[in-house]
Amino acid sequence: MTEDRPSWDEYFMDITTLVARRSTCLRRAVGAIIVKDKRVLSTGYNGAPSGVRHCGETGCLREQRQVPSGERHELCRGIHAEQNAIIQAARHGVSILGATLYCTTRPCSICARMLINAGIEKIYYLEGYADPLSEEMLAEAGIPLERIGESRNSLFREAL
């Protein structure tokens, strides 16, 4: 074993940070992965749905309407990274019951509700998000939410 070998949490967060690089959102690049038994089940990043023009082409609806971060989630062309990870698992028939979510940003309250009902058992994230209802709901549902240190691979962080 070497000192440079990442822990499992670091490894999965590094992957999550890489997934975020696929984001098409102009405001915030977010990546999410769903893991169970040390295996990646699904990945997701935020952006417009498949076959729909990206915000880079249309402009950011939230910026155009001056919507603050953490508010009015429905005023956006994009799907959140966590939602995309859940959708991809469902689309391919992969159960995520009892799995763990790794995400570059703490989930919003909409994603928290979906993660609760999808059976996610633990959430790790890198950065906070301005939506206190999310934390309250996850705590009430008994889902641990843990902020972990930055990804060790600075190349991934610089790309965001």
Residue 157 has pLDDT above 90, yes or no: no
pLDDT digits (tens, 9 = 90+) for 90-99: 999 999 999 9
**Biggest CA pair distance of the chain:** 52
Phi, psi for residue 85 in degrees, rounded to 5: -65, -40
Confidence band of 158 (pLDDT split at 50, 70, 90): very low
Confidence band of 144 (pLDDT split at 50, 70, 90): very high
pLDDT digits (tens, 9 = 90+) for 19-38: 999 999 888 899 999 999 99
Is residue 82 annotated as part of the catalytic site, yes or no?
A: yes
The single residue of 57, 71, 74, 82 carrying the catalytic annotation is 82
Distance CA(7)–CA(139), nearest Å, equals 26
Q: What is the mean predicted confidence (pLDDT) over 114-124?
A: 98
In this structure, the chain runs to a length of 160
